[in-house]
Amino acid sequence: MRISLGTRVTLGVLTTVILAVVYVPLLVVLVNSFSTSSSLTWPPPGFTLEWWGRAFRSDGALEAVGTSALVALISSALALILGTMLSFALQRFSFFGRNTVNLLVILPIALPGIITGIALNNLFRTILGVPLSIWTVIIAHTTFCIVTVFNNAVARLRRMGTSLEEASADLGAGIWTTFRLVTFPQLRSALLTGGLLAFALSFDEIVVTTFTAGSGVRTLPMFIIDNVARPNQAPIVSVIAVVLVVVSIVPIALAQKLSGSNSAGEVVRAARRGGAARNMNRHWRHRLSR
């Protein structure tokens, strides 16, 4: 399909405007992190690295970074285990209510964060009588991180099919051998992508965290909210915001790379292995039937 010059120009202008609205404020935050002004006046009267030094010496900021990283790592690990198990159960087996279970698994990512936060807060405090702590935050983050792992794993399982696994079983391999040598190598990049996205999603979550964190738990987004309006803290918050953007971009970029070129190469190689395995399987079946 050929697009006229006027349409291309219009689409180009719209794309530029949308990207500017999204990324110019981020550039302003980056510049403000080097500003000599403590009130973030614009344009900056000068530039300094003082706020970066203060941010990396701030005990509160470092503790918040550690808490966010710990929550994100544990939540991502739990999401990888549970999301992978759910993807196999819902993709490879048929049972009554499968579509309903599939909807319930995906629903937490579609619900507004404030609804999820209120529901989990009521669950922990009213129903279970559990005091809010870092573990309630981890459980809360796991509920929506599972969805990213589940979606990536299910999509890859649908593309893989079962021909390679059936050929492996026909040639005498056991369940765990087939999973280790046939299934997991094809699924590996999808799981890594889902885990990276889950980490990024958990690391900067604020709404659900606010409702499920105990009094002594403060993640990095909560630290930013608490300090953004305080005198002389705005530049430090800008520094932390820049770090948060970088930490969020890196796993997302890696996930995009893994779900793109690498996974495509794995599919091609798996298809070639699958053709060879099927040919070998047919060969031995033909010989055994003679």
Q: Please, is 148 exposed, middle or buried when counting C-beta atoms within 10 Å of its C-beta (0-12, 13-18, 19+)?
A: buried
pLDDT in tens, 26-73: 888 888 778 777 676 777 777 778 778 877 877 787 888 889 889 999
Distances (CA, A) of 268 to 48, 183, 264: 51, 14, 6
CA distance 224 to 226: 5
pLDDT for the residue 260: 58
Cross-strand partners of 35: 47
Q: Write out the two tokens for 175.
A: 């369940």
Tokens 């492996």, residue? Answer: 168
Instruction: Give the total residue count for the chain.
Output: 290
For CA atoms 174, 176, 181, 187, give the dihedral sign.
positive
- What is the pTM for the complete model shown? 0.74
What confidence tier does 108 reach under pLDDT thresholds 50, 70, 90? confident
Q: Write out the two tokens for 174.
A: 């056991």
Strands (E) in the chain, as ranges, are: none
Distances (CA, A) of 254 to 141, 159, 196: 21, 21, 8
